[in-house]
Chains A and B, each alone.
Chain A
């Protein structure tokens, strides 16, 4: 019986450990489709390297837009923060530039604002990580951009993080202050506390004291006559209290002399204006968007108008952090998430308006939980990237309620 029980336990443990699939998403699938589609769009995301050594840099550049379709069910977008999604501090963020301005902290945004960002990271912990840029907006949450695996290899020199202080001194932020005062001072307080505790609990029995204390009132310790708390105990506790005060005073004098210049934590938040966009030549309206789950096909009817001087093409379609480009084959080109076909083929001439039927086959959107079937809010937002003959792009935000094709 015991052997069977042990076998069952081991089997269960083994199945749990070895049958669990690796987690490849970072929680974005738990966000509703309308949240991810209608709030922040990402495009032109590039990673400068796929493999770096500890201490080496990798940069992530891209564009994030606070879409005009920001839902009314959310508070207006005001404060945002660009960061990365990674399993803990596997990387350090060494620089963050948004629309040409250094942005160490959060910044103030506006609906419709376009933010070109550049993050400079340094590899810190060896391993392979799926890294995404993220755009967090207060009261909406963190929206995750396109990701890529980055491998950090071990450096023979290990890893250090030198930072220069105001006085020119360089410290290694990985371990600065760790010995003293972080652990040293803290351990001293612990030792003092242990001395206090051991004075009472080592020489004096604990459990059997109840027989005596239960016969005294709460505010009466019996004094020296009973012996629960004696004059000697009082003297010892006074000495420990004095040692506490001396430790505090000594520590205070030390920090005041060792670090004469200190400032409080800073809140450097400011407004970053939206990036200047090229002149508008393309406008578009999404007339209809349907999804056939059986056929695994998403179809969009888009009325595109070209007010520019040259013909324009639909270069890409962006849904949240996904990018689709024109293509016919089942193979997805590198750097994008899928393909679509446009009918009728051909450009939209200058001055013309054309109704385009954009068809996307495959399960990419549904796999990424971006098709809002079965939800109360079936709004789908797509950012259409039109490019003219001069290679200038217009990113047009379009939105329409999804018409699902039921089985």
Chain B
């Protein structure tokens, strides 16, 4: 009996919320939504791009830096931070599983615009050398896991680990043609190496490249799989850094200073 009463109460409550969802407001119309989504795109794209450049700049700038060891570790970690923050904000505020996709789409627009305008047209680097990685498919995965699990912990573990694998797999497809061997200066190099040698980067001496450096590769003798596993773990940490940003730097201050009606 009690459960039936509770059930009826819950249904009543749900009905009220459903009605509230469809309510038309006098002063709030779709223009507010457009304003928000469009203006936030600049801030979100910039935040994601700056975070990525600070941690993983060179790995995203050049094909000859996109190696099998450091690229899958550092870049997914760098890029997951802001999508995680936006996931928290957009799920908490609107129950939209769109935070990661929104961030990665805005990031994609920002970086493509930047690479074409700044790197291609202003400084003449060919885009097939300086193409930016895309994290959109990884963002779709991350939002999908949140939608299904409604759990931050599951999203951080399953979502972030999948984020790393999908990020690497997506961009490896683009990188593949540039890993073909070439005989250049009497050495067998990749096409990506040749791009790095030929297209002059004055203040980036070749020895700055981190290729097969460190002892990570000695475990199991396989660099890539270890790097992916380590990158997945590090992305979980990156996810929670993003959660901290979303909770403590975005939502909490609003709650502290905004009046509750």
What count of chain A residues pass the 8 Å CB interface test?
102
Query: Do B176 and A262 touch (CB < 8 A)?
Result: yes
Name the prevailing secondary structure of the B interface residues.
helix
The answer, yes or no, to whether A84 is at the interface (CB within 8 Å) is: yes
Selected from B95, B174, B202, B205, the residue in CB contact (under 8 A) with A185 is B174
Point out the residues of chain A lying under 8 angstroms from B112, CB to CB: 186
- How far, in angstroms, from A105 to B201 measured CA to CA in the complex? 13
Query: Do B190 and A265 touch (CB < 8 A)?
Result: yes
Point out the residues of chain B lying under 8 angstroms from A226, CB to CB: 14, 17-18, 21
9-residue interface stretch from A59-67, A208-216, A300-308, A361-369: A208-216
Query: Do A216 and B182 touch (CB < 8 A)?
Result: no
The answer, yes or no, to whether A221 is at the interface (CB within 8 Å) is: yes
9-residue interface stretch from B45-53, B132-140, B232-240: B132-140
Point out the residues of chain B lying under 8 angstroms from A252, CB to CB: 169, 172-173
Point out the residues of chain A lying under 8 angstroms from B144, CB to CB: 237-238, 240-241
The answer, yes or no, to whether B125 is at the interface (CB within 8 Å) is: yes
Q: How far is the CB of B138 from chain A (nearest CB, A)?
A: 9
The answer, yes or no, to whether B163 is at the interface (CB within 8 Å) is: no
Query: Do B28 and A207 touch (CB < 8 A)?
Result: yes
Query: Do B128 and A210 touch (CB < 8 A)?
Result: no
Look across to chain A and name the residue whose beta carbon is closest to the beta carbon of B143. A196
Look across to chain B and name the residue whose beta carbon is closest to the beta carbon of A85. B202
The answer, yes or no, to whether A193 is at the interface (CB within 8 Å) is: yes
Query: Do B137 and A255 touch (CB < 8 A)?
Result: no
- How far, in angstroms, from A213 to B136 measured CA to CA in the complex? 26
Query: Do B207 and A208 touch (CB < 8 A)?
Result: no
The answer, yes or no, to whether A117 is at the interface (CB within 8 Å) is: no
Point out the residues of chain B lying under 8 angstroms from A92, CB to CB: 198-200
Q: How far is the CB of B135 from chain A (nearest CB, A)?
A: 9
Query: Do B176 and A91 touch (CB < 8 A)?
Result: no
Query: Do B36 and A265 touch (CB < 8 A)?
Result: no
Query: Do A265 and B105 touch (CB < 8 A)?
Result: no
The answer, yes or no, to whether B211 is at the interface (CB within 8 Å) is: yes
Query: Do A213 and B206 touch (CB < 8 A)?
Result: no
Q: B-facing mask of A166-184, CB < 8 A → 1, else 0?
A: 1100010111111001110
Selected from A190, A200, A251, the residue in CB contact (under 8 A) with B96 is A200
Point out the residues of chain A lying under 8 angstroms from B220, CB to CB: none
Q: B-facing mask of A66-107, CB < 8 A → 1, else 0?
A: 000000000000011101111111111111100000111110
Q: In A303-336, which residues have CB < 8 Å from any B CB?
A: none
Q: Which of A87, A93, A183, A264 counts the most B-chain CB atoms under 10 A from its CB?
A: A264
The answer, yes or no, to whether A294 is at the interface (CB within 8 Å) is: no
Query: Do B134 and A209 touch (CB < 8 A)?
Result: no
Query: Do B104 and A193 touch (CB < 8 A)?
Result: yes
Query: Do A212 and B15 touch (CB < 8 A)?
Result: no
Query: Do B173 and A225 touch (CB < 8 A)?
Result: no
Q: Contacts A189-B134, A262-B179, A268-B187 given; indicate if A142 touches B37 (C-beta within 8 A).
A: no
Q: In B83-125, which residues have CB < 8 Å from any A CB?
A: 91-98, 101-102, 104-105, 108-109, 112, 123-125
Selected from B18, B95, B124, B182, the residue in CB contact (under 8 A) with A163 is B182
Q: How far is the CB of A271 from chain B (nearest CB, A)?
A: 13
- How far, in angstroms, from A225 to B17 measured CA to CA in the complex? 9
Q: How far is the CB of A181 from chain B (nearest CB, A)?
A: 5
The answer, yes or no, to whether A6 is at the interface (CB within 8 Å) is: no
Selected from B10, B98, B209, the residue in CB contact (under 8 A) with A267 is B209
Point out the residues of chain B lying under 8 angstroms from A102, CB to CB: 185-187
Look across to chain A and name the residue whose beta carbon is closest to the beta carbon of B68. A264
Name the prevailing secondary structure of the A interface residues.
mixed
- How far, in angstroms, from A300 to B89 measured CA to CA in the complex? 70
Q: In B207-229, which residues have CB < 8 Å from any A CB?
A: 207, 209, 211-212
Query: Do A104 and B185 touch (CB < 8 A)?
Result: yes
Q: How far is the CB of A353 from chain B (nearest CB, A)?
A: 42
Q: How far is the CB of A2 from chain B (nearest CB, A)?
A: 28
The answer, yes or no, to whether B77 is at the interface (CB within 8 Å) is: no
Q: Which of A90, A175, A228 counts the most B-chain CB atoms under 10 A from its CB?
A: A228
Query: Do A186 and B207 touch (CB < 8 A)?
Result: no
Query: Do A104 and B184 touch (CB < 8 A)?
Result: yes
The answer, yes or no, to whether A136 is at the interface (CB within 8 Å) is: yes
Q: Contacts A209-B94, A213-B93, A213-B95 given; indicate if A190 touches B32 (C-beta within 8 A).
A: no
- How far, in angstroms, from A164 to B189 measured CA to CA in the complex? 12
Query: Do B134 and A182 touch (CB < 8 A)?
Result: no
The answer, yes or no, to whether B147 is at the interface (CB within 8 Å) is: yes
Q: How far is the CB of A244 from chain B (nearest CB, A)?
A: 5
Look across to chain B and name the residue whose beta carbon is closest to the beta carbon of A255. B176
Query: Do B105 and A190 touch (CB < 8 A)?
Result: yes
The answer, yes or no, to whether A248 is at the interface (CB within 8 Å) is: yes
Q: Which of A105, A209, A221, A251 counts the most B-chain CB atoms under 10 A from its CB?
A: A105
The answer, yes or no, to whether B257 is at the interface (CB within 8 Å) is: no
- How far, in angstroms, from A240 to B20 measured CA to CA in the complex? 29
Q: Which of B18, B173, B176 counts the most A-chain CB atoms under 10 A from its CB?
A: B173
Q: How far is the CB of B110 from chain A (nearest CB, A)?
A: 12
Query: Do A94 and B198 touch (CB < 8 A)?
Result: yes
- How far, in angstroms, from A361 to B247 measured CA to CA in the complex? 67
What is the interface of chain A, defined by CB distance below 8 A to chain B? Answer: 26, 79-81, 83-96, 102-106, 124-125, 134, 136, 138, 142, 161, 163-167, 171, 173-178, 181-183, 185-186, 189-190, 192-194, 196-197, 200-201, 204-213, 215-216, 218-223, 225-229, 234, 237-238, 240-241, 244, 247-248, 251-252, 254-255, 258-259, 261-269
Q: List 10 A-B contacts (CB under 8 A).
A: A125-B124, A164-B183, A174-B128, A196-B143, A210-B93, A218-B92, A226-B18, A237-B144, A261-B180, A267-B212
10 more A-B residue pairs beyond the given contacts A93-B197, A211-B20, with a C-beta to C-beta distance below 8 A: A89-B198, A104-B185, A163-B184, A186-B174, A196-B101, A197-B105, A211-B23, A215-B17, A227-B21, A268-B187
